[in-house]
Every structure is written in structure tokens, then in C-alpha cells.
Homo-oligomer: A and B are copies of this chain.
Amino acid sequence: MSSVIGNKIKLSVFGESHGEAIGCVIDGLPGGIKLDFDKIDKEMARRAPGKDKTATARKESDTPHILSGVLNGVTTGAPLAMTIENTNTKSGDYGNLMAVPRPGHSDYPAYVKYGGNNDIRGGGHFSGRLTAPIVFAGAIAKQILEEKGIKIGAHISRIGGVCDKNFDKNDISPELLDVLSNDAFATISAEKELEMRTVIENARLQGNSVGGIIECAAIGLPVGIGANIFDTVESRFSAALFGVPAVKGVQFGEGFGFAEMLGSEANDGYEIKDGQVSLITNHNGGVLGGMTSGAPIVFSVVLKPTPSISTPQKSVNLQTMENETLVVNGRHDPCVVPRAVPVIEAITALVLLDMMM
């Protein structure tokens, strides 16, 4: 188990879904940063469930409570510890899951790894709820990066068969990123939102769930962050992004599309523009040789469908070692993608800040 990430900014995330509290410790923040609590609250609200039918009807108390590292609203330079109480837990829903692992969840390997001692209620430490402290930490990282002129934003690129327009990789305005970050269901093409919502609602009505893709961008970056061989921007980003539950793929720039491209199509030429070196295109998603090229970082992640579905599934009883049919009760997100948008942005901010400190 390692719920700690980062070299200079170390984030340690703790808590279980149905335990007393979740939270995090952020180690390495500089002193003297006046925290913007409105922005933190806004980011927390973007991730919080219960807003509409695309997400679980659970109401979660996502109020961060700071224990250390902040004095009169300003960081002291000491580790910033934060907790969020778990107030709305219906543990009764999880009775039959102790011995019968839910398909697609961590239950079975966690049972083997922790000898059956892990807290299975709500997914325990493996719950998507643990992304709340990540969003909190990311909000602080975002604020520090914005003061350096760096902006991050993401949108829902695909839900089931419905695709949003993607970023124009070499021309992403701060205004667009602002608009996206104020949108609870962030798409570039406004008309795609309704279509995507329909796909999600259909899955929900069937007791099913659906996956999707998030595309994320960071603009305003200096050239030369990251390094090969093993400390590339892509390495650092992907290691953190795969820490987000349900993420099963990460690609930069054209990503898997590169397989079909010729070198002459994939290479990004250079030109002098306003006296500066500028990339003519940005197929490489802002990363060359593992380092930032100066163009926007653009990557996408795929999230699998929520494994908690109410349709009956084949499983086994780990105590009797017999086959069993499982129906997962409880309140679940038919699609985690909309709520994951601020999480992906938060990871982006945390990794970038760590690499730039």
C-alpha cells in the first residue's frame, strides 16, 4: 500500500469510505501562500455527488477541515493536514459483500492481499471517495500554478458512443479553460451534453453503467520541464493518473492515433512567431523527449464503467468457495466521468507543481 505521491510536494492520502474520516497531508508546500478558500470550495463542489441523475444520490459531506500548516489563512510551510468527516454512510448495504467479491472491483485481490482485513464497506480505501482529498490538494496546486501563469482545464471527450469536439491542441485559450471549469458537465460542444446525459440516463435506468474519456490540457508552461529516461512528463503524469480509480488508459497528443500516422503527419514543425520559437502543430501533446515543448500539454484518460451495477453478476463466495450470483445494492454513479473531470485536473496540477518546484 502506498498512498503517498510526489518528490518535493508529497501528498499522503488516507481514509476509508465508511470510516470516520478521510483526508490528506500535503508536505512541502512553501510558506506564505494565502489560500483561496472560495476556489477550494468550488473545486470540491465540482467533484461532490448528488447534483443530478448522472451521479449517485448520496449526499456526502465534503467540507475540508484543516488541522495544520495554515495560520490565518496563510500556509506556514509545515505539512498541511486536512480531514473530511464521513457522515452519510449506509454500511448496512454492504453486508453480503464481505465474502462475495464484486466483479470489476478491488475486492478479490484486496481480500487476498490484506488477508480479509481490509474495510470492504463502500470500497474502503479503494473508494472513489478518496479522490476528494486529491481535489482539495489539487485546488491549492492550481492556485499556485495560476500565479505562475499556468492554467489547467478538462472536458468530457466521450461517453459511450457520443464524442465531444476535442481541444485544438495548439490553440487553447485560458477563456475556454475557465468556461469548462465552471461547467458541472464540461463539454466543448454544448449540444453534446444532452446526448451524453441521455446515454448515462439510459444506463442508469437499466441498472447499468457506462465509461468514457476525459481530455485535459495545461497551458502557459515553460519549455524543458521533465527529463528522460525515466523522469518524463508522461511518466510522472501517468503514474499519478492511474491512481484515480477506474482510469485504464492514458495517452498524450494523438496517442493511440499515432499508430496510423506517418512521420510526416506526426512531426510538429517549428516556426518563428513574434520572435519566438513556436510549434506549428502539437500532435505530440506538448511533450517531446519527455520534456515540455512549450505547446499545451494535452492528454486523455479513459475511465471504465462503474463496476457497481445492480444487474445480477457471477461471483464466488470466498468462504464456502462456491459460485454465487451477486446483486450489488447501494447508491452508485451510473457514470463517474463527469465527477472525475476535476479529479483529473487536480492530478495534473499536483504533478506539474511537483515537477516545477
A175 within 8 A of B: no
Asked if residues A76 and B124 are in contact (CB atoms below 8 Å), the reply is yes
Number of interface residues of A (CB under 8 A): 143
Asked if residues B238 and A314 are in contact (CB atoms below 8 Å), the reply is no
Asked if residues B315 and A269 are in contact (CB atoms below 8 Å), the reply is yes
Query: Copies of this chain, how many?
Result: 4
Asked if residues B242 and A238 are in contact (CB atoms below 8 Å), the reply is yes
| A1-B80 Cα distance, complex, nearest whole Å | 11
Residues on B with beta carbons closer than 8 Å to the beta carbon of A74? 117
Asked if residues A255 and B263 are in contact (CB atoms below 8 Å), the reply is no
Determine which of B158, B235, B259 lies in contact with A211 in the assembled complex, contact meaning CB atoms within 8 Å. Answer: B259
Minimal beta-carbon separation of A21 from chain B (angstroms): 4
Quick one: which of A20-55 are within 8 Å of B by CB? Answer: 20-23, 25, 27-32
Asked if residues A5 and B321 are in contact (CB atoms below 8 Å), the reply is no
Q: Which residue of B lies closest to A69 (CB)?
A: B14
| A266-B212 Cα distance, complex, nearest whole Å | 12
Asked if residues A126 and B68 are in contact (CB atoms below 8 Å), the reply is no
| A155-B72 Cα distance, complex, nearest whole Å | 42
**Contact mask for chain A residues 263-300; partner B; CB cutoff 8 A; 1 contact, 0 none:** 11111111110010100100011001111111000000
Asked if residues B263 and A31 are in contact (CB atoms below 8 Å), the reply is no
18 contacts between A and B (CB under 8 A): A3-B231, A4-B10, A14-B25, A14-B68, A78-B124, A104-B284, A106-B291, A108-B288, A109-B291, A109-B293, A113-B223, A211-B258, A212-B259, A213-B259, A238-B242, A249-B255, A263-B307, A267-B305
